[in-house]
Structure 1
Amino acid sequence: MPPTAGAIACLIAVTLCYACVCAVQPFAACRKCRGFGHQLRQTRRGALKRGKDCRRCKGTGTRIRLGRHLWTVWRRTYHNGTR
């Protein structure tokens, strides 16, 4: 098998696996707050304290995956175009 065919097959496999992950788990942990929903702050004495809610996820601790977001946009566009 030529190297390009192997690379294409690997790319297709990765894409299909990511599509399955997006279908099963559309939400993932927020990268900024690591799924806590807020930032952990450290006091002057070194104790951990809850900070403000995360602005990226609005305090939920989850974010929608890019693939799921693109799928939703495509489905909404298709639905509105075929009315």
Structure 2
Amino acid sequence: MFLLIAAAVTVCYVGVCWWRPFRRCRRCDGTGRRRSLMLRARRACRRCDGTGEHLRPGRIALNYLRELHDKGTPR
């Protein structure tokens, strides 16, 4: 039963990574801007490069596996 639940959760997460590959940046809360320590100025978030979102870890893994597959197949 546990393996069935784990497999279902894994399939659902892969589906989410395929359907919505980006998630909101936790550091800037999705705004793309953060307060700096000096003068309380607002600057672009370094973690997401000011976009407010970044790739999910599962999508990074899927992209890596796709690259491995593409490099291994001769064309």
TM-score by length of 2: 0.85
Partner of 1:51: 42
Specify the code of the residue in structure 2 equivalent to 1:35.
Answer: G
Which structure 1 residue ranges, 5 or more long, are not aligned?
A: 1-5, 42-48
1:54-65 matches, cutoff 5 A? 54-65=45-56
Task: State yes or no: 1:77 paired with 2:68.
Answer: yes
Larger Rg belongs to: 1
Q: 1:8 aligns with which of 3, 10, 32?
A: 3
Which structure 2 residue ranges, 5 or more long, are not aligned?
A: none
CA distance in 1, matches of 2:56, 2:41: 26
TM-score by length of 1: 0.78
Q: CA RMSD in A?
A: 1.8
Partner of 2:31: 36
